[in-house]
Structure 1
């Protein structure tokens, strides 16, 4: 069973304080994962990193130790439901 495992993942924008200084997380295959935390905590940044939409990807897929850095974003088989029209913001619903 493949698991997305994040170990000591850190994200900061420029010289600013880290959005999250260190995240350790394991998400099992086919799991539904919920992050019930306030706005601005880095949920979207974390999800963009996992999906490969934002770099650098600093996590590994635990399916034999395959580093996700070696897998193009389109081949990562990660499903993410956007909260709003983030994919095509110029198209109104």
Structure 2
């Protein structure tokens, strides 16, 4: 039988200011088949795309991408509740960015 995880909560974190930019993150809290919760972090990235149908227009597209590098061990820790998992993930981001 296929194993799966269910997304039980999604939150968008307020922008984190940097010296000359800002970071935008989204957190997903998932529940696996064992009833454990874990988090995935996504970072908002902007891409400049040149559509094939119009040669004169460049379009900026924003997309959340899975971020495995900002907080590398984020998905390694299982929690017993969605709130515990969310609080742990937010604390990890707070520790990283102060």
TM-score (norm 2): 0.27
- Rg: which structure is higher? 2
Superposition TM-score, scaled by structure 1 size? 0.27
